Amino acid sequence: MLDFTRFFVEIYPARWAILEGVGMTLVISFLSIVLGTILGIGVALSLVYGGRVQRFAVRAFLEYVRGTPVFVLILACYYLLSQLVQLTPFQAGLIALTVFCSSHVGENLRGALLALPRGQTEAAKAIGLTFRQTFVYVLAPQALRQALPAWINTASELVKASTLLSVIGVVELMLTTRQIIARNFMSLEFYCLAGIIYFLISFSIERLGRRVERRIALPS
């Protein structure tokens, strides 16, 4: 049963810890989304326009990452990569989430690029545009517009996946919540609070994404 009186008494001294946890969740989610999107664009270009060997290597990378749970990716980056390069929990978690994001963004953008009519590429070549100019000015705006809904879902999934970083010691919202519960034993109240915060973050991403989607939509 929820004890609201005690909850409000306990939440005040924990307010700064909760805010720091929320801040860490937002920072690592934002960085992984940005870096994963950049890497995902490279993945999509390799799959669509790369050579046979390049396409095979990138496809193998995608199949491995998409077939591996995020939890395993986080543990692999923290325990395996740390054998080669000294990584902090934050750095290992950021790498894992970035790789996870890039696999989904790359696959979604690949589908969007392949859905574009080939005649547009041929027309760009006919007027003397280079491949870079063709991609930047002709293909990318249309492909990104088509891939935006899936990108919004990926961004929301990354926020939820960031909860798994607590297992390697990243002090994000979930680990902060567990630390608070360990002091006051109010599991139900503080887990409900964490759930509400995660919902608000994901809902904000979804609403912002929908607004951007409406602004860049082609007029019917």
Say yes or no: domain 4-215 is CATH 3.40.50.300: no
pLDDT at 220 over 60: no
Domains of the chain: which residue ranges?
Answer: 4-215
pLDDT at 2 over 80: no
The per-residue pLDDT for 10 is 81
The per-residue pLDDT for 128 is 81
Q: What is the mean pLDDT of residues 123-140?
A: 81
pTM: 0.88
How would you write the chain as a 3-class SS string? CCCHHHHHHHHCCCHHHHHHHHHHHHHHHHHHHHHHHHHHHHHHHHHHHCCHHHHHHHHHHHHHHHCCCHHHHHHHHHHHHHHCCCCCHHHHHHHHHHHHHHHHHHHHHHHHHHHCCHHHHHHHHHCCCCHHHHHHHHHHHHHHHHHHHHHHHHHHHHHHHHHHHHHHCCCCHHHHHHHHHHHHCCHHHHHHHHHHHHHHHHHHHHHHHHHHHHHHCCCC
The per-residue pLDDT for 138 is 81
The answer to which of 9-23, 59-73, 117-131 has the lowest mean pLDDT is: 117-131
pLDDT at 132 over 60: yes
Q: What is the per-residue pLDDT across 84-99, written as a single tens digit (0 to 9) for each?
A: 888 899 999 999 999 9
Q: What is the mean pLDDT of residues 163-183?
A: 91
pLDDT at 126 over 70: yes
The per-residue pLDDT for 15 is 86
The per-residue pLDDT for 84 is 84
Q: What is the mean pLDDT of the chain?
A: 87
Q: What is the mean pLDDT of residues 37-43?
A: 92
